Structure 1
Amino acid sequence: MDQGQRLLHSSSFGAAAAAYAEHRPDYAQDAVCWALEPAPGPRVLDLGAGTGKLTATLVALGVDVIAVEPDLAMLAQLRRTLPTVRALPGSAEAIPLRDGSVDAVLAGNAMHWFDMAVAGPEIARVLAPGGTLAGLWNVMDDGVEWVAGLARVGGSAAIGPRDTPAGWRAETADAHLPKSAGTARFGSPEQAGFPHGQRRTAASLVATIATRAGILVMPEQEQEATLGRMRAFLVSRPETAHGEFTLPMLTAVLRVRRL
Protein backbone atom coordinates (compact mmCIF):
# COMPACT_ATOMS: atom_id res chain seq x y z
CA MET A 1 0.00 0.00 0.00
CA ASP A 2 1.52 3.33 -1.05
CA GLN A 3 1.39 6.49 1.08
CA GLY A 4 -1.72 7.85 -0.64
CA GLN A 5 -3.65 4.62 -0.16
CA ARG A 6 -2.51 4.37 3.46
CA LEU A 7 -3.77 7.89 4.13
CA LEU A 8 -7.11 7.16 2.43
CA HIS A 9 -7.61 3.99 4.47
CA SER A 10 -6.39 5.39 7.79
CA SER A 11 -8.62 8.47 7.50
CA SER A 12 -11.76 6.45 6.72
CA PHE A 13 -12.72 5.57 10.29
CA GLY A 14 -14.07 8.92 11.48
CA ALA A 15 -17.26 8.60 9.45
CA ALA A 16 -17.94 5.29 11.21
CA ALA A 17 -16.81 6.30 14.72
CA ALA A 18 -20.07 5.35 16.46
CA ALA A 19 -20.25 1.97 14.70
CA TYR A 20 -16.57 1.36 15.47
CA ALA A 21 -17.20 2.04 19.17
CA GLU A 22 -20.24 -0.25 19.18
CA HIS A 23 -18.95 -3.23 17.24
CA ARG A 24 -15.15 -3.45 17.39
CA PRO A 25 -13.79 -5.83 20.07
CA ASP A 26 -11.65 -4.75 22.99
CA TYR A 27 -8.28 -6.39 23.71
CA ALA A 28 -7.49 -9.43 25.83
CA GLN A 29 -6.19 -8.31 29.23
CA ASP A 30 -3.53 -11.03 29.17
CA ALA A 31 -2.26 -9.61 25.89
CA VAL A 32 -2.11 -6.07 27.25
CA CYS A 33 -0.30 -7.28 30.39
CA TRP A 34 2.26 -9.09 28.22
CA ALA A 35 2.74 -5.95 26.12
CA LEU A 36 3.42 -3.96 29.28
CA GLU A 37 5.50 -6.60 31.05
CA PRO A 38 8.97 -5.13 30.37
CA ALA A 39 7.90 -1.50 30.94
CA PRO A 40 9.82 0.26 33.75
CA GLY A 41 6.81 2.23 35.05
CA PRO A 42 3.06 2.85 34.85
CA ARG A 43 2.88 5.76 32.37
CA VAL A 44 1.37 4.48 29.11
CA LEU A 45 0.60 6.21 25.83
CA ASP A 46 -2.20 4.70 23.72
CA LEU A 47 -1.13 5.95 20.29
CA GLY A 48 -3.72 6.03 17.53
CA ALA A 49 -6.27 5.33 20.24
CA GLY A 50 -9.37 5.48 18.04
CA THR A 51 -12.55 5.33 20.09
CA GLY A 52 -10.71 4.00 23.14
CA LYS A 53 -10.97 0.22 22.83
CA LEU A 54 -7.42 -0.34 24.09
CA THR A 55 -7.58 2.71 26.36
CA ALA A 56 -10.47 1.14 28.29
CA THR A 57 -8.49 -2.05 28.88
CA LEU A 58 -5.53 -0.02 30.13
CA VAL A 59 -7.82 1.92 32.48
CA ALA A 60 -9.22 -1.36 33.82
CA LEU A 61 -5.65 -2.50 34.55
CA GLY A 62 -5.06 0.63 36.63
CA VAL A 63 -2.25 2.17 34.59
CA ASP A 64 -1.77 5.91 34.06
CA VAL A 65 -2.85 6.22 30.41
CA ILE A 66 -2.81 9.11 27.93
CA ALA A 67 -4.65 8.65 24.62
CA VAL A 68 -3.56 10.36 21.39
CA GLU A 69 -5.70 10.15 18.24
CA PRO A 70 -5.53 12.11 14.95
CA ASP A 71 -9.15 11.72 13.82
CA LEU A 72 -11.34 14.26 15.62
CA ALA A 73 -14.53 12.20 15.27
CA MET A 74 -12.85 9.15 16.79
CA LEU A 75 -11.31 11.33 19.52
CA ALA A 76 -14.73 12.81 20.36
CA GLN A 77 -16.17 9.29 20.71
CA LEU A 78 -13.29 8.31 23.00
CA ARG A 79 -13.88 11.37 25.18
CA ARG A 80 -17.59 10.54 25.48
CA THR A 81 -16.85 6.94 26.42
CA LEU A 82 -13.92 7.64 28.77
CA PRO A 83 -14.38 11.21 30.06
CA THR A 84 -11.77 10.88 32.82
CA VAL A 85 -8.93 9.90 30.46
CA ARG A 86 -6.54 12.56 29.19
CA ALA A 87 -7.16 12.38 25.43
CA LEU A 88 -5.26 14.62 23.00
CA PRO A 89 -5.31 15.29 19.28
CA GLY A 90 -2.08 14.18 17.66
CA SER A 91 -0.50 11.44 15.59
CA ALA A 92 2.34 8.94 15.70
CA GLU A 93 4.30 11.34 13.53
CA ALA A 94 3.65 14.33 15.83
CA ILE A 95 3.09 13.24 19.45
CA PRO A 96 2.00 16.11 21.75
CA LEU A 97 4.04 14.93 24.76
CA ARG A 98 7.39 15.91 26.22
CA ASP A 99 10.60 13.89 25.89
CA GLY A 100 10.84 10.70 27.97
CA SER A 101 7.36 11.19 29.44
CA VAL A 102 5.97 7.63 29.08
CA ASP A 103 7.18 4.15 30.02
CA ALA A 104 5.28 2.33 27.27
CA VAL A 105 3.72 3.17 23.91
CA LEU A 106 0.91 0.84 22.83
CA ALA A 107 -1.08 0.93 19.59
CA GLY A 108 -4.27 -1.08 19.08
CA ASN A 109 -4.92 -2.01 15.43
CA ALA A 110 -3.07 1.15 14.45
CA MET A 111 0.67 0.60 14.07
CA HIS A 112 0.37 -0.49 10.42
CA TRP A 113 -0.90 3.02 9.63
CA PHE A 114 2.18 4.75 11.07
CA ASP A 115 4.88 6.21 8.82
CA MET A 116 7.59 4.64 10.95
CA ALA A 117 10.37 6.63 9.28
CA VAL A 118 8.84 9.68 10.99
CA ALA A 119 6.98 8.00 13.85
CA GLY A 120 9.99 5.96 15.03
CA PRO A 121 12.00 9.00 16.17
CA GLU A 122 8.86 10.55 17.71
CA ILE A 123 8.07 7.38 19.66
CA ALA A 124 11.71 7.12 20.78
CA ARG A 125 11.58 10.76 21.89
CA VAL A 126 8.61 10.34 24.25
CA LEU A 127 9.57 6.83 25.43
CA ALA A 128 11.79 6.58 28.50
CA PRO A 129 14.96 4.45 28.21
CA GLY A 130 14.06 0.83 28.88
CA GLY A 131 10.48 1.52 27.81
CA THR A 132 8.34 -0.72 25.63
CA LEU A 133 6.71 -0.19 22.24
CA ALA A 134 3.96 -2.67 21.38
CA GLY A 135 1.35 -3.08 18.67
CA LEU A 136 -1.77 -5.13 19.31
CA TRP A 137 -4.11 -6.58 16.68
CA ASN A 138 -7.29 -8.60 17.01
CA VAL A 139 -7.15 -11.41 14.42
CA MET A 140 -9.64 -14.11 13.40
CA ASP A 141 -8.57 -17.75 13.66
CA ASP A 142 -8.86 -19.02 10.09
CA GLY A 143 -7.75 -22.45 11.29
CA VAL A 144 -11.50 -22.80 11.95
CA GLU A 145 -13.10 -23.88 8.66
CA TRP A 146 -16.04 -21.49 8.62
CA VAL A 147 -13.79 -18.51 9.38
CA ALA A 148 -11.56 -19.47 6.44
CA GLY A 149 -14.67 -19.70 4.28
CA LEU A 150 -15.85 -16.28 5.39
CA ALA A 151 -12.44 -14.83 4.50
CA ARG A 152 -12.69 -16.31 1.00
CA VAL A 153 -16.18 -14.90 0.50
CA GLY A 154 -15.31 -11.42 1.79
CA GLY A 155 -11.97 -11.06 0.06
CA SER A 156 -8.87 -9.26 1.30
CA ALA A 157 -10.66 -5.92 1.79
CA ALA A 158 -12.82 -7.52 4.48
CA ILE A 159 -10.38 -10.01 6.03
CA GLY A 160 -6.85 -9.36 4.86
CA PRO A 161 -3.62 -11.33 5.43
CA ARG A 162 -2.85 -9.41 8.63
CA ASP A 163 -6.28 -10.32 10.04
CA THR A 164 -5.46 -14.02 10.56
CA PRO A 165 -2.81 -15.51 12.88
CA ALA A 166 -0.34 -16.89 10.31
CA GLY A 167 -0.77 -13.87 8.07
CA TRP A 168 -0.31 -11.52 11.02
CA ARG A 169 2.97 -13.18 12.01
CA ALA A 170 4.32 -12.86 8.49
CA GLU A 171 3.01 -9.33 7.88
CA THR A 172 4.16 -7.80 11.17
CA ALA A 173 7.42 -9.63 11.95
CA ASP A 174 9.96 -6.83 12.04
CA ALA A 175 7.81 -4.78 9.64
CA HIS A 176 6.32 -2.06 11.85
CA LEU A 177 9.02 -1.51 14.46
CA PRO A 178 12.00 0.85 14.34
CA LYS A 179 15.44 -0.72 14.77
CA SER A 180 16.91 2.66 15.56
CA ALA A 181 15.64 6.22 15.78
CA GLY A 182 18.24 8.93 16.09
CA THR A 183 20.40 8.00 19.04
CA ALA A 184 17.80 5.53 20.38
CA ARG A 185 18.15 1.82 19.74
CA PHE A 186 15.55 -0.92 20.00
CA GLY A 187 16.00 -4.59 20.80
CA SER A 188 14.73 -7.69 19.01
CA PRO A 189 10.98 -7.86 18.38
CA GLU A 190 8.81 -10.49 20.08
CA GLN A 191 5.40 -11.85 19.03
CA ALA A 192 2.69 -13.58 21.06
CA GLY A 193 -0.99 -14.43 20.70
CA PHE A 194 -3.72 -14.63 23.36
CA PRO A 195 -7.20 -16.21 22.97
CA HIS A 196 -9.95 -13.59 22.83
CA GLY A 197 -13.14 -15.20 21.49
CA GLN A 198 -16.04 -12.83 20.83
CA ARG A 199 -19.77 -13.49 21.06
CA ARG A 200 -21.42 -12.43 17.82
CA THR A 201 -24.49 -12.99 15.66
CA ALA A 202 -24.40 -13.04 11.86
CA ALA A 203 -25.68 -9.46 11.84
CA SER A 204 -23.25 -8.14 14.45
CA LEU A 205 -20.24 -9.84 12.83
CA VAL A 206 -21.10 -8.25 9.49
CA ALA A 207 -21.50 -4.91 11.29
CA THR A 208 -18.04 -5.38 12.81
CA ILE A 209 -16.47 -6.15 9.43
CA ALA A 210 -18.23 -3.09 7.99
CA THR A 211 -15.97 -0.90 10.16
CA ARG A 212 -12.78 -2.15 8.47
CA ALA A 213 -10.93 0.35 6.32
CA GLY A 214 -10.99 -1.86 3.23
CA ILE A 215 -14.79 -1.88 3.39
CA LEU A 216 -15.20 1.78 4.36
CA VAL A 217 -13.31 3.03 1.29
CA MET A 218 -15.30 0.89 -1.17
CA PRO A 219 -17.90 2.45 -3.49
CA GLU A 220 -21.31 2.00 -1.88
CA GLN A 221 -22.56 -0.61 -4.35
CA GLU A 222 -19.44 -2.76 -3.98
CA GLN A 223 -19.57 -2.39 -0.20
CA GLU A 224 -23.19 -3.58 -0.07
CA ALA A 225 -22.42 -6.52 -2.36
CA THR A 226 -19.43 -7.62 -0.27
CA LEU A 227 -21.27 -7.39 3.03
CA GLY A 228 -24.29 -9.11 1.47
CA ARG A 229 -22.17 -12.10 0.39
CA MET A 230 -20.72 -12.40 3.86
CA ARG A 231 -24.14 -12.17 5.50
CA ALA A 232 -25.51 -14.85 3.17
CA PHE A 233 -22.56 -17.12 3.96
CA LEU A 234 -23.05 -16.75 7.71
CA VAL A 235 -26.77 -17.52 7.60
CA SER A 236 -26.04 -20.59 5.46
CA ARG A 237 -23.63 -22.15 7.97
CA PRO A 238 -24.88 -24.29 10.87
CA GLU A 239 -22.21 -22.80 13.16
CA THR A 240 -23.40 -19.21 12.64
CA ALA A 241 -26.99 -19.29 11.38
CA HIS A 242 -28.87 -19.56 14.67
CA GLY A 243 -28.40 -16.74 17.16
CA GLU A 244 -25.13 -16.12 19.01
CA PHE A 245 -21.90 -17.96 18.35
CA THR A 246 -18.28 -17.51 19.39
CA LEU A 247 -16.01 -15.90 16.82
CA PRO A 248 -12.59 -17.51 17.42
CA MET A 249 -10.19 -14.61 17.79
CA LEU A 250 -6.74 -13.85 19.18
CA THR A 251 -5.22 -10.63 20.43
CA ALA A 252 -1.82 -10.73 18.76
CA VAL A 253 1.03 -8.61 20.15
CA LEU A 254 4.29 -7.39 18.65
CA ARG A 255 6.58 -5.74 21.18
CA VAL A 256 10.08 -4.31 21.35
CA ARG A 257 12.09 -2.61 24.08
CA ARG A 258 13.93 0.65 23.78
CA LEU A 259 17.50 -0.03 24.89
Structure 2
Amino acid sequence: MNDAQAGIHHSAAGGYALGADSYVRGRPDYPAELGDWLREQLGLAQGKTVIDLGAGTGKFTPRLIATDARVIAVEPVPEMLGKLSVSFPHVQALSGTAASIPLPDASVDAVVCAQSFHWFATHAALAEILRVLKPGGKLGLVWNLRDASIPWVARLDAIVNRVEGDTPRYYTGAWRNAFPFDGFGPLAEQHFKQPHTGSPDDVIVNRVRSTSFIAALETGERAVIDREVRALIASEPALAGKEVVTVPYDTAAFSAEKIAV
Protein backbone atom coordinates (compact mmCIF):
# COMPACT_ATOMS: atom_id res chain seq x y z
CA MET A 1 0.00 0.00 0.00
CA ASN A 2 1.39 3.41 -0.94
CA ASP A 3 1.28 6.50 1.26
CA ALA A 4 -1.85 7.82 -0.44
CA GLN A 5 -3.70 4.56 0.34
CA ALA A 6 -2.87 4.64 4.05
CA GLY A 7 -6.03 5.19 6.06
CA ILE A 8 -8.53 4.42 3.28
CA HIS A 9 -11.07 1.63 3.80
CA HIS A 10 -9.81 -1.87 3.01
CA SER A 11 -12.69 -2.47 0.57
CA ALA A 12 -11.67 0.57 -1.46
CA ALA A 13 -7.94 -0.12 -1.36
CA GLY A 14 -8.31 -3.78 -2.32
CA GLY A 15 -11.54 -3.90 -4.29
CA TYR A 16 -10.88 -0.99 -6.60
CA ALA A 17 -7.34 -2.14 -7.29
CA LEU A 18 -8.71 -5.52 -8.43
CA GLY A 19 -11.92 -4.22 -10.01
CA ALA A 20 -10.76 -1.22 -12.02
CA ASP A 21 -11.60 -2.85 -15.36
CA SER A 22 -15.13 -3.78 -14.24
CA TYR A 23 -15.55 -0.25 -12.90
CA VAL A 24 -14.88 1.21 -16.33
CA ARG A 25 -17.26 -1.21 -18.08
CA GLY A 26 -20.04 -1.40 -15.53
CA ARG A 27 -20.53 2.06 -14.02
CA PRO A 28 -23.33 4.24 -15.42
CA ASP A 29 -22.74 7.69 -16.82
CA TYR A 30 -24.20 10.77 -15.17
CA PRO A 31 -27.25 12.72 -16.42
CA ALA A 32 -26.64 15.61 -18.80
CA GLU A 33 -28.59 17.92 -16.44
CA LEU A 34 -25.63 17.81 -14.08
CA GLY A 35 -23.82 20.10 -16.51
CA ASP A 36 -26.21 22.93 -15.63
CA TRP A 37 -25.98 22.02 -11.94
CA LEU A 38 -22.19 22.23 -12.00
CA ARG A 39 -22.29 25.66 -13.62
CA GLU A 40 -25.19 27.13 -11.65
CA GLN A 41 -24.74 25.58 -8.20
CA LEU A 42 -20.94 25.23 -8.11
CA GLY A 43 -20.07 28.16 -10.38
CA LEU A 44 -17.79 26.13 -12.66
CA ALA A 45 -16.66 27.94 -15.78
CA GLN A 46 -13.54 28.95 -17.68
CA GLY A 47 -11.01 30.45 -15.26
CA LYS A 48 -12.19 28.32 -12.33
CA THR A 49 -10.37 25.32 -10.84
CA VAL A 50 -12.12 22.20 -9.54
CA ILE A 51 -10.84 19.08 -7.76
CA ASP A 52 -12.34 15.73 -8.77
CA LEU A 53 -11.81 14.15 -5.33
CA GLY A 54 -11.80 10.36 -5.21
CA ALA A 55 -11.84 10.54 -9.00
CA GLY A 56 -11.46 6.80 -9.59
CA THR A 57 -11.04 5.97 -13.27
CA GLY A 58 -12.47 9.35 -14.28
CA LYS A 59 -16.11 8.40 -14.76
CA PHE A 60 -17.27 11.88 -13.69
CA THR A 61 -14.28 13.78 -15.09
CA PRO A 62 -15.85 14.52 -18.53
CA ARG A 63 -18.72 16.36 -16.81
CA LEU A 64 -16.18 18.62 -15.12
CA ILE A 65 -14.10 19.10 -18.28
CA ALA A 66 -17.24 20.17 -20.15
CA THR A 67 -17.65 23.20 -17.83
CA ASP A 68 -14.34 24.59 -19.20
CA ALA A 69 -12.95 24.76 -15.66
CA ARG A 70 -9.42 23.50 -14.95
CA VAL A 71 -9.79 19.97 -13.54
CA ILE A 72 -7.42 18.36 -11.02
CA ALA A 73 -8.07 14.69 -10.25
CA VAL A 74 -7.10 13.34 -6.81
CA GLU A 75 -7.27 9.56 -6.22
CA PRO A 76 -5.42 7.20 -3.83
CA VAL A 77 -5.71 3.88 -5.73
CA PRO A 78 -2.92 3.65 -8.34
CA GLU A 79 -4.81 1.28 -10.64
CA MET A 80 -7.73 3.70 -10.83
CA LEU A 81 -5.55 6.79 -11.23
CA GLY A 82 -3.60 5.08 -14.00
CA LYS A 83 -6.74 4.46 -16.04
CA LEU A 84 -7.83 8.06 -15.54
CA SER A 85 -4.45 9.34 -16.73
CA VAL A 86 -4.67 7.24 -19.91
CA SER A 87 -8.22 8.41 -20.66
CA PHE A 88 -7.61 12.07 -19.81
CA PRO A 89 -3.91 12.82 -20.36
CA HIS A 90 -4.49 16.59 -20.19
CA VAL A 91 -6.03 16.42 -16.70
CA GLN A 92 -3.61 16.89 -13.82
CA ALA A 93 -3.78 13.63 -11.85
CA LEU A 94 -2.47 13.53 -8.28
CA SER A 95 -2.14 10.72 -5.77
CA GLY A 96 -3.87 11.78 -2.57
CA THR A 97 -6.78 11.34 -0.19
CA ALA A 98 -9.54 13.53 1.18
CA ALA A 99 -7.59 13.85 4.42
CA SER A 100 -4.39 14.81 2.58
CA ILE A 101 -5.01 16.78 -0.60
CA PRO A 102 -1.68 17.67 -2.25
CA LEU A 103 -2.59 21.29 -3.05
CA PRO A 104 -2.01 24.68 -1.35
CA ASP A 105 -4.45 26.50 0.91
CA ALA A 106 -7.30 28.40 -0.78
CA SER A 107 -6.21 27.22 -4.24
CA VAL A 108 -9.41 25.89 -5.83
CA ASP A 109 -12.93 27.16 -6.51
CA ALA A 110 -14.74 23.86 -6.03
CA VAL A 111 -14.28 20.30 -4.83
CA VAL A 112 -16.53 17.61 -6.29
CA CYS A 113 -16.88 14.13 -4.81
CA ALA A 114 -18.72 11.93 -7.32
CA GLN A 115 -19.62 8.50 -5.97
CA SER A 116 -16.94 8.91 -3.29
CA PHE A 117 -17.84 11.03 -0.26
CA HIS A 118 -19.29 8.12 1.74
CA TRP A 119 -15.74 6.68 1.87
CA PHE A 120 -14.35 9.66 3.77
CA ALA A 121 -17.34 11.39 5.39
CA THR A 122 -15.39 12.70 8.37
CA HIS A 123 -14.74 16.06 9.96
CA ALA A 124 -11.05 15.62 9.14
CA ALA A 125 -11.87 15.32 5.44
CA LEU A 126 -14.21 18.31 5.51
CA ALA A 127 -11.54 20.38 7.27
CA GLU A 128 -9.06 19.47 4.53
CA ILE A 129 -11.57 20.31 1.81
CA LEU A 130 -12.17 23.68 3.47
CA ARG A 131 -8.41 24.27 3.56
CA VAL A 132 -8.00 24.00 -0.22
CA LEU A 133 -11.20 25.90 -1.08
CA LYS A 134 -11.11 29.63 -1.71
CA PRO A 135 -13.53 31.79 0.31
CA GLY A 136 -16.96 31.28 -1.18
CA GLY A 137 -15.79 28.03 -2.81
CA LYS A 138 -18.26 25.18 -3.29
CA LEU A 139 -18.37 21.52 -2.28
CA GLY A 140 -20.36 19.19 -4.53
CA LEU A 141 -21.41 15.64 -3.64
CA VAL A 142 -22.88 13.39 -6.33
CA TRP A 143 -24.13 9.80 -6.27
CA ASN A 144 -25.77 7.47 -8.78
CA LEU A 145 -28.12 5.05 -7.02
CA ARG A 146 -30.15 2.22 -8.53
CA ASP A 147 -33.89 2.87 -8.21
CA ALA A 148 -34.89 0.18 -5.72
CA SER A 149 -38.57 1.07 -6.04
CA ILE A 150 -38.48 -1.33 -9.01
CA PRO A 151 -38.92 -4.86 -7.54
CA TRP A 152 -36.21 -6.60 -9.55
CA VAL A 153 -33.77 -3.80 -8.73
CA ALA A 154 -34.56 -4.28 -5.03
CA ARG A 155 -33.79 -8.01 -5.40
CA LEU A 156 -30.50 -7.16 -7.10
CA ASP A 157 -29.62 -4.75 -4.30
CA ALA A 158 -30.37 -7.46 -1.73
CA ILE A 159 -27.81 -9.77 -3.38
CA VAL A 160 -25.20 -7.02 -3.28
CA ASN A 161 -25.97 -5.65 0.18
CA ARG A 162 -25.76 -9.08 1.81
CA VAL A 163 -21.96 -9.03 1.54
CA GLU A 164 -21.27 -5.33 2.20
CA GLY A 165 -19.82 -5.97 5.68
CA ASP A 166 -18.56 -2.72 7.19
CA THR A 167 -18.20 -0.94 3.86
CA PRO A 168 -19.54 2.66 3.91
CA ARG A 169 -22.51 3.08 1.55
CA TYR A 170 -24.49 6.11 0.40
CA TYR A 171 -27.89 4.48 0.91
CA THR A 172 -27.40 4.09 4.68
CA GLY A 173 -27.28 7.87 5.10
CA ALA A 174 -24.35 7.58 7.54
CA TRP A 175 -22.38 10.10 5.47
CA ARG A 176 -24.86 12.80 6.57
CA ASN A 177 -23.46 12.59 10.11
CA ALA A 178 -20.49 14.70 8.92
CA PHE A 179 -22.86 17.68 8.63
CA PRO A 180 -23.44 20.36 9.76
CA PHE A 181 -19.79 21.39 9.83
CA ASP A 182 -18.39 24.78 10.80
CA GLY A 183 -17.16 26.52 7.69
CA PHE A 184 -19.84 25.11 5.36
CA GLY A 185 -23.32 26.45 4.81
CA PRO A 186 -26.33 24.13 4.60
CA LEU A 187 -26.50 21.34 2.05
CA ALA A 188 -28.74 21.99 -0.96
CA GLU A 189 -30.14 18.83 -2.57
CA GLN A 190 -31.34 18.01 -6.10
CA HIS A 191 -32.25 14.74 -7.85
CA PHE A 192 -32.11 13.65 -11.49
CA LYS A 193 -33.23 10.49 -13.28
CA GLN A 194 -30.70 8.53 -15.30
CA PRO A 195 -31.27 5.27 -17.25
CA HIS A 196 -28.28 2.95 -17.66
CA THR A 197 -28.81 1.05 -20.90
CA GLY A 198 -26.64 -1.68 -22.39
CA SER A 199 -26.07 -5.41 -22.37
CA PRO A 200 -26.98 -7.29 -19.17
CA ASP A 201 -23.32 -8.20 -18.78
CA ASP A 202 -22.25 -4.57 -18.78
CA VAL A 203 -25.00 -2.74 -16.91
CA ILE A 204 -25.81 -5.48 -14.37
CA VAL A 205 -23.07 -8.12 -14.08
CA ASN A 206 -20.07 -5.81 -14.47
CA ARG A 207 -21.77 -3.11 -12.38
CA VAL A 208 -22.08 -5.59 -9.52
CA ARG A 209 -18.51 -6.80 -10.05
CA SER A 210 -17.31 -3.18 -9.86
CA THR A 211 -18.66 -2.83 -6.32
CA SER A 212 -15.62 -2.49 -4.09
CA PHE A 213 -16.47 -5.11 -1.49
CA ILE A 214 -17.53 -7.65 -4.13
CA ALA A 215 -14.32 -7.14 -6.12
CA ALA A 216 -12.42 -7.75 -2.87
CA LEU A 217 -14.10 -11.13 -2.21
CA GLU A 218 -12.32 -14.43 -2.68
CA THR A 219 -12.74 -15.98 -6.14
CA GLY A 220 -15.28 -18.55 -4.98
CA GLU A 221 -17.38 -15.95 -3.19
CA ARG A 222 -17.41 -13.71 -6.26
CA ALA A 223 -18.54 -16.69 -8.35
CA VAL A 224 -21.51 -17.21 -6.02
CA ILE A 225 -22.57 -13.58 -6.47
CA ASP A 226 -22.14 -13.89 -10.25
CA ARG A 227 -24.41 -16.97 -10.30
CA GLU A 228 -27.07 -15.26 -8.20
CA VAL A 229 -27.05 -12.17 -10.40
CA ARG A 230 -27.27 -14.23 -13.60
CA ALA A 231 -30.10 -16.29 -12.07
CA LEU A 232 -32.00 -13.09 -11.31
CA ILE A 233 -31.53 -11.92 -14.91
CA ALA A 234 -32.76 -15.26 -16.25
CA SER A 235 -35.85 -15.26 -14.00
CA GLU A 236 -36.95 -11.65 -14.51
CA PRO A 237 -39.28 -11.10 -17.52
CA ALA A 238 -37.97 -7.54 -18.01
CA LEU A 239 -34.43 -8.92 -18.41
CA ALA A 240 -34.49 -12.55 -19.54
CA GLY A 241 -33.27 -13.15 -23.07
CA LYS A 242 -32.76 -9.44 -23.74
CA GLU A 243 -29.63 -8.22 -25.51
CA VAL A 244 -30.20 -4.68 -24.24
CA VAL A 245 -31.70 -3.77 -20.87
CA THR A 246 -32.14 -0.59 -18.84
CA VAL A 247 -31.35 -0.17 -15.16
CA PRO A 248 -33.11 2.91 -13.70
CA TYR A 249 -30.94 5.22 -11.59
CA ASP A 250 -31.58 8.21 -9.37
CA THR A 251 -28.74 10.75 -9.26
CA ALA A 252 -28.51 12.73 -6.02
CA ALA A 253 -26.55 16.00 -6.05
CA PHE A 254 -25.69 18.07 -2.97
CA SER A 255 -23.86 21.39 -2.71
CA ALA A 256 -22.54 23.56 0.13
CA GLU A 257 -20.60 26.83 0.23
CA LYS A 258 -17.49 27.67 2.23
CA ILE A 259 -18.46 30.47 4.59
CA ALA A 260 -16.62 32.58 7.16
CA VAL A 261 -16.61 31.18 10.71
TM-score, with structure 1 as normaliser: 0.86
Alpha-carbon distance, 1:96 to partner: 0.9
Alpha-carbon distance, 1:123 to partner: 0.5
User: Is 1:191 aligned with 2:193?
Assistant: no
**Cα separation, partners in 2 of 1:40 and 1:138, compared to 1, 3 Å:** closer
> In structure 2, what residue type is equivalent to 1:37?
E
**Cα separation, partners in 2 of 1:115 and 1:81, compared to 1, 3 Å:** same
User: Is 1:19 aligned with 2:61?
Assistant: no
**Cα separation, partners in 2 of 1:94 and 1:5, compared to 1, 3 Å:** closer
Percentage of pairs with the same residue: 33
Which residue of 1 is the match for residue 3 of structure 2? Answer: none
- Identify which of 130, 142, 145 aligns with 1:139: 145
> In structure 2, what residue type is equivalent to 1:220?
T
Q: 1:150-178 deviations in whole A, cap 9, x for unaligned?
A: 223443447x9956xxx46x444x33446
Alpha-carbon distance, 1:32 to partner: 5.0
Q: 1:107-155 deviations in whole A, cap 9, x for unaligned?
A: 1111111152321221101101111112111100011122112223443
Which residue of 1 is the match for residue 10 of structure 2? Answer: 8
Alpha-carbon distance, 1:203 to partner: 1.6
Tell whether the 8 Å contact from 2:118 to 2:169 is kept in structure 1 after alignment. Answer: no
Alpha-carbon distance, 1:69 to partner: 0.8
Alpha-carbon distance, 1:200 to partner: 2.8
> In structure 1, what residue type is equivalent to 2:212?
A
Cα root mean square deviation, aligned: 2.3
Q: How does 1:123-202 map to 2 (within 5 A)?
A: 123-157=129-163, 162=169, 167=171, 170-172=173-175, 174-177=176-179, 179-180=181-182, 185-202=183-200
Q: How does 1:23-34 map to 2 (within 5 A)?
A: 23-34=26-37
Residue ranges of structure 2 left out of the alignment (5+ in a row): 1-5
Residue ranges of structure 1 left out of the alignment (5+ in a row): none
The range that moved more, 19-28 or 124-133, is 19-28
> In structure 2, what residue type is equivalent to 1:196?
Q
Question: How many residues are matched?
Answer: 246
**Cα separation, partners in 2 of 1:5 and 1:121, compared to 1, 3 Å:** closer
Which residue of 2 is the match for residue 105 of structure 1? Answer: 111
**Cα separation, partners in 2 of 1:94 and 1:36, compared to 1, 3 Å:** farther
